[in-house]
Amino acid sequence: MIKDQEYLNSKASYCLDIARKNGATDASVMIGHSISETVNFRNKNLDESNRSDDLAFSINTYIGKKKSSISSSNLLDENLKTLIEKCIETTKITPEDEFNSLPDKDLLAYNLKNLNLYDDTHIENIKKIEYLKELEDVASKEDNIVNTESSFSEKKSNFILANSVGFSGGYRTSTFTSSCVTVAKDEKSMERDYEYSSKRYLNDIKDPKTLGKLTSDRTIKKLSPNKIGSEKLSIIFDKRIAKGMLSAFASAISASAIARGTSFLKDQIDKQIFSETINIFDKPDIIKGVGSKNFDSEGVKSETLKLVEAGVLKKYLLDTYNGKKLNLKSNGRSGGTTNLYFENGKCSYEELLRMNSKSIYVTETIGHGTNVVTGDYSVGATGFLVEDGEFKFPVNEITIAGNFKEMFKNIILANDLDFEYSTNSPTMMIEGMTVAGK
């Protein structure tokens, strides 16, 4: 069983009391507990079963504008007392930083919504094994499939975040995740693909037959790829890949990158950076949302942000420290985004495929070719050649490249948004990208 709120609260109160007694002018503490159980299969046989039980403690102590931190997994009172005393001593000799402080009191989340983030259902290992057996039976059904790997994990967590200005809040969360990887082979190539499902509630994850067949079909379709020449083409990004564009965007508008001047989107507030059809939201209060939360890692309430409106950048992702550097207040994004997504586009998936006589449909990118400082983008890719809306054949060993400044303005979105992850995008097309092939 995960520790209850009463236990976590008592530990947090003890830590704050010790910090005050040792001279801290302010302090914030996080106490968390999580239990995770995972079963792994390989080629239809049980490969591994494990369980982890993790306690975590971290504290930030302030003396004026001086700050230091310490963490541990040992929550015995004597250990906590010793660590906090050491942290205070370190704080005393730490240089001052004018931007060090707790969040403004009026920004803290005192009223918590019930976001339905916890399912107290427990699935026994034998049931996990039955799920994976069925999944791998389906995933390996076709003769071309030569290898399968799958897993099922269940994680339950509880935490409390408290600080010296009177904030104390926390809640339980659960996550159930199933995943499948298959390898297919024919006389010309060997290919790999994957799929996974991660939800707050057990009953919401994909059933094993659906997950296994989806993974197998995707992998087999990639067999016997062709090589293509170099040219400028429209690139269609599968939803799994398109969400990576949002992740790059989020990195570029993080307060830390903006404050350091290491983002190509510095000084772009109220500037047109996408086409007028693009709207981007970060919504923390989606019921059962994988990224949903009431407050950020500092206790600041998380509210829905319309980051981009009709293509215009409206907000950065702000925490307390970097917000002060920018002379802006935190908007509850210490620790990053919550449920980040592009609003649906106007055209259907099929219309997007038919928009050009020739395009590349990307299902996988290779490498980390994103430069947030310059906006340059260059990655290896595999996918399919699409002509007149029809998938012709798989392609591999290509590189796609561009610069986000132009790419963002050339995005066209389909209307097939699903909330499968914490960052989500409809199928996306970017026109006029450079494709380097054979």
The domains located in the chain, with CATH, are 5-221 (3.30.2290.10), 226-438 (no CATH)
Question: What is the pLDDT at residue 286?
Answer: 97
pLDDT band at residue 437 under the 50/70/90 scheme = confident
pLDDT at 393: 95
From residue 289, how far is each of 124, 240, 258, 284, 419 by CA, in Å? Answer: 24, 17, 28, 8, 8
Percent residues over pLDDT 90 in the chain? 97
Is the confidence at residue 367, as pLDDT, over 90?
A: no
Q: What is the pLDDT of residue 327?
A: 97
Q: Is the pLDDT of residue 355 over 80?
A: yes
- Residue identified by tokens 């994680």 is 155
State pLDDT tens for residues 163-216.
999 999 999 999 999 999 999 999 999 999 999 999 999 999 999 999 999 999
- Asked whether residue 70 carries a pLDDT value surpassing 80, the answer given is yes
Torsion of CA 409, 410, 414, 418, to 10 degrees: -50
Q: CA nearest 73: which of 85, 55, 99?
A: 55
Q: Are 169 and 28 in contact (CB under 8 A)?
A: no
pLDDT of residue 183: 97
Query: Per-residue pLDDT averaged across 219-239, rounded?
Result: 95
Measured in residues, the chain has a length of 438
Q: What is the pLDDT of residue 134?
A: 97
pTM of the predicted model as reported, rounded to 2 decimal places: 0.95
The mean pLDDT value of the chain amounts to 96
Give the pLDDT of residue 438. Answer: 73
Q: What is the model's pLDDT at position 1?
A: 85
Give me the percent of the chain exceeding a pLDDT of 70.
Answer: 100
Q: Which residue shows structure tokens 């995972």?
A: 38
| pLDDT at 242 exceeding the cut of 90 | yes
CA atoms of 40 and 22, how far apart (whole Å): 47
